[in-house]
């Protein structure tokens, strides 16, 4: 069967850099950091006391009070970002829109962590008359509920679920939506990811693994991918949502098109519960499968938005994987880790970085990897590669590849390219 073409017609974002796509993209190109002291709780006794929080978000301005009681913060972010993306796409104005053929897949690596902490904590289990729970506890907490709320918002009856594959989750969601559309099983999808885990269990849990940076004296410079002095990732939060649409469906209604989604690859490291394979074997396979799926070669890719978390092991293995797979073409690429600015949004990170890749393709400009200092070079990293350190770079971007890797050895790669008739 002939596969359908899939394009991006809408974008929405609530991030540590801004409360919409425009402000987020502008801040990323300017190399701004979203990191600062934690305000969601008192972190003064934690090893890590900073994060990339969403700033200035007032859910009550967007969601009525009755509905707000049903939504964990991660789902609030998802719903508002989805509204932005749907409005941006204009799909609601499409004549004769078949809502049975519009689906929703919104991913989360953790889901309603704050709700879980509030409801299943010490006080709920130790009140005088026995445990007392909010009736919204379970539906607020579960990691698939954001998709449900988005579908109910618009009456979209197509495939609807959440994806959980740790930090690869929203890349997996995008790939699933892409495949449904190109196989002719749907006309459009609202897809992406959301996360809000900057709470005691999230920060304390990652601290216990020695996964987070503890650079408390300088939060803005703490996320420093590919620098020798990197000491862990900076946890972030927020949501990024895309509207993917079958090309002819989009053209029929005169939709604007940001870029075309052309390939997706998935693999497993089958190595360790948290560490990436030291030689990047799973990453190589994921990128290779995505290129084959897209019908592209390594020479066709101009930009890779790397997973690049700023961890001592992960950064090295990803660089090894890129050099091994791309060979000489690796030295013609621009690479960048936008996590240096946004922090690591866990289950939402793939969608946010796919959005950055789409905008790079559309605008022919690469957002930077910030916080690299002269002399802060790791002997295990090949600095002949162009990591787009500290300043955005203009260049033609025909196609971009975006990597996301998660605990459990999950790897997912998405490829987007310039839309052409």
139: number of Cβ within 10 Å:
18
Q: If you ran DSSP here, which 8-state letter would residue 52 be given? A: B
Q: What angle do CA 255, 287, 251 make, to 5 degrees?
A: 10
User: Active-site residue 127, yes or no?
Assistant: no
Distances (CA, A) of 373 to 92, 226, 376, 378: 47, 10, 5, 11
Which residues on adjacent β-strands are paired with residue 304?
Answer: 335, 401
Q: In degrees rounded to 5, what are phi and psi of residue 319? A: -60, -45
**Residue 289 contacts residue 212 (beta carbons within 8 Å):** no
Give a three-class secondary structure readout of 191-210: EEEEECCCCHHHHHHHHHCC
Give the C-alpha separation, 25 to 47, whole Å: 31
d(CA 52, CA 312): 20
Catalytic residue chosen out of the listed positions 114, 149, 249, 307: 307
Q: How far apart are CA 63 and CA 350, in angstroms?
A: 26
In the set 167, 249, 372, 410, the catalytic residue is 167
State both tokens at 272. 């360790």
Q: Which of 40, 249, 344, 410 is catalytic?
A: 344
- 52 in active site: no
344 catalytic? Reply is yes
8 A C-beta contact, residue 183 and residue 3: yes
Determine how β-strand 334-336 pairs with β-strand 303-305: parallel
- In 209-302, which residue ranges form alpha helices assigned H by DSSP? 247-252, 281-294
Phi, psi of 135 (to 5 degrees): -60, -15
Phi then psi for residue 337, to 5 deg, are: -110, 105
Tokens of 398: 């025909």
Tokens of 8: 């991006």
Strand-pairing partners, residue 356, are: none
Q: Which residues are catalytic?
A: 167, 307, 344
């Amino acid at each position: 069967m002939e596969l359908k073409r899939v394009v991006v017609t809408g974008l929405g974002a609530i991030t540590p850099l801004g409360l919409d796509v425009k402000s987020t993209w502008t801040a990323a190109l300017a190399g701004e950091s979203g990191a600062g002291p934690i305000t969601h709780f008192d972190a003064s006794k934690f090893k890590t006391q900073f994060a990339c929080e969403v700033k200035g978000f007032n859910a009550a301005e967007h969601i009525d009070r009755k509905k707000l009681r049903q939504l964990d913060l991660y789902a609030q972010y998802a719903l508002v970002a989805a509204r932005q993306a749907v409005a941006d796409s204009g799909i609601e104005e499409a004549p004769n829109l078949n809502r049975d053929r519009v689906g929703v897949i919104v991913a989360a690596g953790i889901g309603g962590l704050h709700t879980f902490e509030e409801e299943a904590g010490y006080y709920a289990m130790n009140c005088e008359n026995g445990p007392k729970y909010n009736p919204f506890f379970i539906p607020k907490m579960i990691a698939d509920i954001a998709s449900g709320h988005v579908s109910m918002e618009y009456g979209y009856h197509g495939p609807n679920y959440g994806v959980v594959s740790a930090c690869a989750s929203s890349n997996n969601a995008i790939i699933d939506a892409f495949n449904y559309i190109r196989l002719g099983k749907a006309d459009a999808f609202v897809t992406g990811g959301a996360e809000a885990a900057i709470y005691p269990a999230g920060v304390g849990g990652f601290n216990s693994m020695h996964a987070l940076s503890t650079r408390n004296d300088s939060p803005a410079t703490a996320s420093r991918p590919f620098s020798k002095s990197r000491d862990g990732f900076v946890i972030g939060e927020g949501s990024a949502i895309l509207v993917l649409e079958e090309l002819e469906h989009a053209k029929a209604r005169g939709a604007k098109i940001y870029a075309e989604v052309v390939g997706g690859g998935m693999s497993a490291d089958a190595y360790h519960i948290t560490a990436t394979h030291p030689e990047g074997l799973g990453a190589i396979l994921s990128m290779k499968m995505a290129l084959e799926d897209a019908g592209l070669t390594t020479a066709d890719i101009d930009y890779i938005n790397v997973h690049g978390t700023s961890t001592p092991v992960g950064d090295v293995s990803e660089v090894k994987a890129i050099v091994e797979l791309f060979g000489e073409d690796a030295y013609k690429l621009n690479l960048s880790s936008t996590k240096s600015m946004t922090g690591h949004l866990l289950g939402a990170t793939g969608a946010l970085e796919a959005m950055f890749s789409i905008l790079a393709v559309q605008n022919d400009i690469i957002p930077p990897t910030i916080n690299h200092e002269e002399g802060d070079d790791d002997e295990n990293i090949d600095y002949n590669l162009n990591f787009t350190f500290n300043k955005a770079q203009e260049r033609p971007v025909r196609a971009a590849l975006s990597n996301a890797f998660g605990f459990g050895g999950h790897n997912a790669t998405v490829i987007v390219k310039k839309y052409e008739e």
